[in-house]
Amino acid sequence: MKKNYLQHINNPDDLKNLNVDQLKDLAQELREFIIDVVSVKKGHLGSSLGVIELTIALHYVFDTPRDLLVWDVGHQAYPHKILTGRRELFHTNRQLNGISGFPSRKESKYDAFGVGHASTSISAALGMAIASRLSGDDNKQHIAVIGDASIAGGMAFEGLNHAGVAKSNILIVLNDNEMGIDPNVGALKQYLTSVKSDQKMQKNIFEALNFSYNGPIDGHDLPTLIKTLKDLKQQKGPKFLHVITKKGKGLKQAEQNQVTYHAPGKFDKQTGDLLEFEDLSEPPKFQDVFGKTLVELAKKNEKIIGITAAMPTGTSIKYMLEEIPDRAFDVGIAEQHAVTMAAGLATEGYIPFCAIYSTFLQRAYDQIIHDIALQNLPVIFCLDRAGLVGDDGPTHHGVFDMAFLRLIPNMVISAPMNEIELRNIMFTAQEQLSHPIAIRYPRGKGFYKDWQKPFSIIEIGKGRMIRDGKDMAVLSIGTIGETVCTVLDDLKSNSIAHFDMRFVKPLDKKLLNYISGKFAKILIIEEGVLQGGFGSAILEYYQEQGLTQLKIKRLGIPDEFIEQGSVSELLALLGLDFKGIKKEIKDFLND
């Protein structure tokens, strides 16, 4: 008779009523539960399947939430969420008004730190540990669970460097599965492999940093995990536990194809077979347009270099890595390094295309200003996932880039309206650019199946009129302009003109002067923050020209963090979908 322990686990205290053999049964139930839900609702699968035994052991041994448990990135936090009172809500994971796909302090007292970007856990846990020491609470435990991809990030090493001398009670658990989203890269990966193969190494890097090193141990062996954690709980000071896990553990397909099953979409929970496939008759994803265009350009221009930070599949740099591996680089979770490495390449006459998600480029802001823009180096930043990204939520929405980049001197910012314009601005950038440029484009599919057209130069800083009108002008930037086109086609009005501005910086001042001279009403639409964004740039320009009589309205992202939901749901909530834009245009025209 099948036992059912999971339905009785409402918090970690309930775990402590089970013996080790019962915990093993619970682990299998938990694994099946996650597979059942994610197969239908989608989400991050492989990472969570790999840490089920580790999660159970941590909550079994430690006194959470008094003991503070920090998960790095958070892709692997599903078992944690289910065991800490969110089992009945788990089906709402990553959905509008549902629970977050990542740990969130506002969601649960068991989520000690909100995460979504990598390599933060050690610093956060150390801060908590120092706070406990200063408060005289020396018995509180502070645990950071970090993957072998995340621990290679520079911030993680900064945390390790300090934690080793901080004299605080911290345990770092290295979840070593040899995978990030894509396979891990770099010398540290090679080092960890050597540690696993030669456990008698006289001195390892973590001991050299003053940590008490333990392991490697099997991360799926519950008795060993529990015994080891109990022993470590009694030790003071900085401790390090090296745990070996299998990403996708318990689902054959997820174990064998770990990249795809990191977040596989819907799948058959019995066989593991995917149920969603890319429709090749549809327009391609923007990332694939970028990746294939980059290869096309690189084959003609031997100076082109491709760079990504742990996202070769997500950015489609994988195509260049496959076809021209000597000139394509995955540097791991190291956005700062990626940017400054690109700067170094540019000083020697190479043309680096640095493909980084918009939200992750935030991590290299100083390098953009100091190493790129200050020296006016022509690095080409390709910002994937610009705009709203959907169910990953506020840690991943790429809505800040236009605002935080446009204030940097020497920076050119382009937002192509479709994949054909994306190809052409990439072609233009590698042909004649003398400044750094950021090219932003969204997650998901483009608009045209016939996108591989001959290249043409786009004049830097020049917008274009898509349709003329007599009463009102709509100014759009980026792919939201395609929605504007659809709305205006539906309205069939000769009163409304539409301009695809193409560039946030430099602004097309000649075109803006034409617009202000002809139209008293101007509606500006962007899929980025209103505070300091594209519309702000236009308002500043018109104010400088003394054109205060213009009636201007802006649509965009308000001054708040946008939660998770499908892109279509979020656009509708913000009034940036077809229906919302149509209403705003009609209301503004008739106002």
Residues marked as catalytic: 247, 335, 363
**Angle 512-517-520 from CA coordinates, rounded to 5°:** 95
- Tell whether 117 is in a known binding site: yes
In angstroms, the CA 88 to CA 296 distance is: 49
Sequence-ordered list of residues with C-beta below 8 angstroms from that of 46, at least 6 positions apart, any chain: 179, 247, 248, 254, 258, 261, 262
Please, what sign has the CA dihedral across residues 312, 316, 317, 322? Answer: positive
- Tell whether 429 is in a known binding site: no
- Tell whether 150 is in a known binding site: yes
Across 90-108, b (16+ Cβ under 10 Å) vs e yields beebbbeebbbbbbbeebb
Which token pair is 368? 């953009």
In angstroms, the CA 533 to CA 559 distance is: 11
- Tell whether 396 is in a known binding site: no
Please, what sign has the CA dihedral across residues 76, 82, 86, 91? Answer: positive
In angstroms, the CA 576 to CA 582 distance is: 9
- Tell whether 148 is in a known binding site: yes
In angstroms, the CA 348 to CA 343 distance is: 9
Which token pair is 529? 């923050």
Report whether 537 contacts 506 (CB < 8 A). no
- Tell whether 118 is in a known binding site: yes
E-strand spans in 134-268? Answer: 142-147, 170-176, 212-218, 238-244
- Tell whether 149 is in a known binding site: yes
- Tell whether 142 is in a known binding site: no
Which token pair is 58? 């941590």
At how many degrees (to 10) do helices 52-61 and 222-233 cross? Answer: 40
In angstroms, the CA 486 to CA 329 distance is: 39
- Tell whether 177 is in a known binding site: yes
List C-alpha distances in Å: 471 to 83, 482, 495, 500, 501. 59, 21, 5, 17, 19
Alpha carbon distance, N-terminus to C-terminus of the chain: 70
Binding residue numbers for Mg(2+): 148, 177
Binding residue numbers for thiamine diphosphate: 75, 116-118, 149-150, 177, 335
Binding residue numbers: 75, 116-118, 148-150, 177, 335
